[in-house]
Structure 1
Amino acid sequence: MGFSAMYTGASGIKAHSMLLQQAGSNLANVNTTAYKSGNTFLENLQSQTATGTISGVVAGGSSNTAGQIGMGVRVSSTRINFAEGSFERSSSSTDLAIGGQGFFRVAEQDSGLSHYTRAGNFHFDKNGLLVDPHTNALQGYAIDSDGNIGTTSVNVALPMKEEKNASGQTILVVKSDPKATSDVSMKTNLDSGAIDNSQNPAAPFFSLLNDWDGTKEMPLAADKFAYHSAIQIFDKSGNKMDMTVYYDKVTPSESGPSDKEYWEYIVTVPPGSDGRTSTAATSSAGLLMTGTLTFAGDGTLLNQTAYSLSSNAAGSPKDLNNWTLTNFNTDGEPTLSTALKGATGEASVQQISIDLGVKSASGSWNTPGASAAEVGSNASGLPTMENGNIDALSTTNYYGSSSTISQSQDGFGEGYLQNVSVNSEGILSGKFSNGLSTDLYKINLYNFKSEYGLRREGSNYFGATDASGAAIEGVAQKKGLGSILGSNLETSNVDLAREFGSMILTQRGYQANSKVITTQDQLINTTLGVKK
């Protein structure tokens, strides 16, 4: 047993050395992104029976088991502390933190090997991949142009496209394709005190159409209408142009109900933007729709008519027999078919619905197929929308100045990516110069049956093991997984005060165990000196 004390002290030195190593690793990573500190636990070694001794006291004339003397100590286990670190604001929108449970998954680009991490310091590389500092790609579900989220995890990458720069070199850019305008909404207040500026006794409801002349630089004289409102629309090539709606009060040649007011309107584009062959270089160039609005005596909208040039028009495009009631879109809005051309690209056919505040629930007119020529001069000849529903916000006929209440359209030109953002659900969205915001990916999060079974792999990575179980794929805020914080990074969860306290105790333990060895050495030397 002379050397047992030395072995016992040596085990203590070894164990405390590992304790110090763990504390040192924690302190070294005090500023490491999303670092999870570790805890090391000790256990005593098997004890040795001390012959001729007993354990406990003599009771009833019998003794307990033989006494035991400890043989030292060893490290029993280490455990990762997965407590959440604090969050630090970042200037980069692609820096991500997880509030709650979960890990990001990144994949090696060559092998596809997966790693799991809480460190979200990602950036886009030259190829548009969202990668970590080791060029491994973050995983997520792709979102298509219709907003459908995929079900297979893929590399998060920007939709790069090739384009020629000013020098003729091919470069990669991220841009959104243009979208032709398909829906225009315009709500106005038309002054009930306005006068009838444009008059045509034979067809008073279509005086503006009669006065429009697309061959002139100013197709409609300023004194021929009571009010106009313009909005920019887009063709399929992304070219923008003004769509202008002109309004004028109507005085029917034959008197109608005295409690109603009537207005006519025309929907136009610049004649040069009209790509229809049937209207090219004619007085109808730029004239897309004509119609009427019927108001109650209190100024509220009652109904609307809408006519567009028939595709089978014969003779003059100004002939009212060629203007027929429009079709409706699925929302019950009057819809015209036209061809528009801008500065670039060819003229392209597109359908545009016009919402002035009333929609047909059944998508039909009460006189289907009627032409504008059949209206005549009497208000009773005006068709109406079947099952017409008036919007809460619609065109009105109140006394006072005419004004545009609201207007919108759904088209846009091409746009270049300006920035990206990530919301709490992990949706990565791109913001483009044309004002479009597009959802690109939903970032994956992963959980494990036992996160304590994960293996540290260095570089802020963890690897799955049999003890942790396979990774369970999910998304933020679902099935117990946490939220994602954009423009934030999780900091280390190392507690400096605790680590310094642990280091002091470890130092004392190390010194005490080294003292056991030196003391035992002195005893051995003393024993050897007895022989002399």
Structure 2
Amino acid sequence: MSFSQGLSGLNAASEALDVVGNNIANSQTVGFKSGSIAFADVFAGSQVGMGVQVSAVNQSFTDGVLGAGTGSLDMGISGNGFFRMENEAGRIFYSRNGQFKKDANGYIVNNQGMFLTGYQATGTPPAIPSGAPVGPIQIPDGQMLARASDSGTLNGNLNSGTDVVANTTFDPTDNTSYSYMTQADAYDSLGNKHTINIYYAKTADNQWTVYSNDSSAPTGSYQQTALQFDPSGQLTTKPARLNVQGAAYNGGEPLNFDFDLTGMTQQASDNAMNSPTTTGYAPGLMNGYTVGDNGQIIASYSNGQTQLLGQVVLSNFTNPGGLSSQGNNCWTETPESGQPVTGISGSGNLGTLYGNKLEASNVDLSNEMVNMIVYQRNYQSNSQTIKTQSELLQTLVNLG
């Protein structure tokens, strides 16, 4: 009986050393989760055990340390959750390895070519629609299309001490018919830049008239609006809007939008306008992209704009220990793991996704070295029981 006990001990210790060796070998593998071995005794209808058996090899899903990534698509997870990936056959895998890159078609893939999944942004401007399906995320290489200006904002102060204009008939060539002038930029449907001249004429105390003209594609007329201020300098005109009209220019559609002047004030200080804003922009080429801490992939363009491309999702399980290891830092769902719960970073019981981070292996090298010594001694001790049993048998043979 001692031979079988010792042999089972040798096999168990050998498998335990295999687990330790695998942990040490993967101590620098991104997102690797260390394993630990569990033993169980063997009985066969007697009070003396028949030895030991390996009951399970469990994985620890504790977090590894998050360090700086080296690529723009590197990601790390803190807390619960896995990256959800899909191979070309449509099979779903889960991983904590956040090393991703673009393939030849612009899809985000890992080093094994599996597609990272999430929500793809659609529409103009791009957004993630409610109920969007989860699927591979693609980063388009094309330019960002132009957007025509359809609204704007003008904020600032008009000097209450300004003299009333001498000429009440507005003429942009006559500076006595207006008190102050600023300019704003706008864009048409093709991204052609239009320069909008804005003139402010004080017509009476607390009363101003504002004129607009598209100097790049003038229509031949000026749009205007009257502004009324109370004695404290607050605007009382509601709504305070200045229309802008421009003719068709270089093939683009004519401009027609309103500036919101609600933020205008009149105080005894210099005329000063904040930088005007409009919703339009010219076309732009992609400069790069980043992954935000909420999993959103944001592209930046040469026109100074940014655009949402997609959002990475995470999946979690009731029992992550029940997942089936598939190699390449990947797991698959099993009945023991339960069904995945998929959502965006930070929602429900999902952890937080960080851009430009990578999760290191959670292997504790010091602990593994100690385990290696313990299992080595265990192996030697079991071999000694076999040697002792052999010597006892030899003694019995010699007695005969």
TM-score by length of 1: 0.70
CA displacement, residues 95-147 of structure 1 (integer Å, 9 cap, x when unaligned): 11111111111111x21111100111111223211111111111102233355
Aligned equivalents of 2:151 and 2:271: distance in 1? 23
Q: How does 1:507-522 map to 2 (within 5 A)?
A: 507-522=376-391
Look up the match of 2:99.
121
Please tell me whether residue 348 in structure 1 is matched to residue 253 in structure 2: yes
Instruction: Give the Å deviation of 1:70.
Output: 2.3
Name the aligned partner's letter for residue 320 of structure 2.
E
Aligned equivalents of 1:494 and 1:235: distance in 2? 58
C-alpha spacing 1:464/1:154, structure 2 compared with 1 (3 Å) = same
Instruction: Give the Å deviation of 1:198.
Output: 5.2
Name the aligned partner's letter for residue 292 of structure 1.
A
Q: Is the 8 A contact 2:241 2:261 kept in 1?
A: no
Q: Is the 8 A contact 1:40 1:75 kept in 2?
A: yes
Aligned equivalents of 2:225 and 2:383: distance in 1? 101
Please tell me whether residue 18 in structure 1 is matched to residue 15 in structure 2: yes
Aligned equivalents of 1:245 and 1:89: distance in 2? 49
Name the aligned partner's letter for residue 269 of structure 1.
D
Please tell me whether residue 132 in structure 1 is matched to residue 2 in structure 2: no
Aligned equivalents of 2:62 and 2:374: distance in 1? 23
Name the aligned partner's letter for residue 92 of structure 2.
S
Q: Is the 8 A contact 2:241 2:259 kept in 1?
A: yes
Look up the match of 1:338.
245
SS at match of 1:190: strand
C-alpha spacing 1:421/1:500, structure 2 compared with 1 (3 Å) = same
Please tell me whether residue 246 in structure 1 is matched to residue 153 in structure 2: no
Instruction: Give the Å deviation of 1:517.
Output: 1.7
Please tell me whether residue 148 in structure 1 is matched to residue 53 in structure 2: no
Aligned equivalents of 2:106 and 2:222: distance in 1? 43
Instruction: Give the Å deviation of 1:48.
Output: 5.9
Look up the match of 1:294.
228
Q: How does 1:186-225 map to 2 (within 5 A)?
A: 186-197=154-165, 199=167, 204=168, 207-208=169-170, 211-212=171-172, 220-222=173-175, 224-225=177-178
Look up the match of 1:228.
181
Aligned equivalents of 2:181 and 2:154: distance in 1? 11
Name the aligned partner's letter for residue 264 of structure 2.
S
Q: Is the 8 A contact 2:162 2:179 kept in 1?
A: yes
Please tell me whether residue 492 in structure 1 is matched to residue 399 in structure 2: no
Aligned equivalents of 2:3 and 2:335: distance in 1? 38
Aligned residues, how many?
A: 397
Find 1:264's aligned residue among 209, 232, 252.
209
Look up the match of 1:76.
55
Q: How does 1:374-393 map to 2 (within 5 A)?
A: 393=263
Instruction: Give the Å deviation of 1:354.
Output: 2.0
Find 1:453's aligned residue among 306, 322, 326.
322
CA displacement, residues 177-222 of structure 1 (integer Å, 9 cap, x when unaligned): 11111112212322333334551xxxx3xx12xx24xxxxxxx245
Aligned equivalents of 1:94 and 1:147: distance in 2? 19
SS at match of 2:390: helix
Let me know the Cα RMSD of the aligned residues: 2.2
Name the aligned partner's letter for residue 96 of structure 1.
M
SS at match of 1:521: helix
C-alpha spacing 1:70/1:261, structure 2 compared with 1 (3 Å) = closer
SS at match of 1:302: coil
Instruction: Give the Å deviation of 1:459.
Output: 0.2
C-alpha spacing 1:452/1:142, structure 2 compared with 1 (3 Å) = same
Aligned equivalents of 1:88 and 1:299: distance in 2? 54
Q: How does 1:38-187 map to 2 (within 5 A)?
A: 38-47=35-44, 49=46, 68-108=47-87, 110-144=88-122, 145-158=126-139, 160=140, 173-187=141-155
C-alpha spacing 1:526/1:515, structure 2 compared with 1 (3 Å) = same
Instruction: Give the Å deviation of 1:294.
Output: 2.8
C-alpha spacing 1:11/1:295, structure 2 compared with 1 (3 Å) = closer
Q: Is the 8 A contact 2:186 2:193 kept in 1?
A: yes
Q: Is the 8 A contact 2:31 2:329 kept in 1?
A: yes
Instruction: Give the Å deviation of 1:26.
Output: 0.7
Identity %: 28
Q: Is the 8 A contact 1:142 1:150 kept in 2?
A: no
Name the aligned partner's letter for residue 212 of structure 2.
V
Aligned equivalents of 1:338 and 1:244: distance in 2? 11
Aligned equivalents of 2:84 and 2:32: distance in 1? 16
Name the aligned partner's letter for residue 138 of structure 2.
A
Instruction: Give the Å deviation of 1:428.
Output: 2.1
CA displacement, residues 304-344 of structure 1 (integer Å, 9 cap, x when unaligned): 8xxxxxxxxxxxxxxxxxxxxxxxxxxx55464734444xx
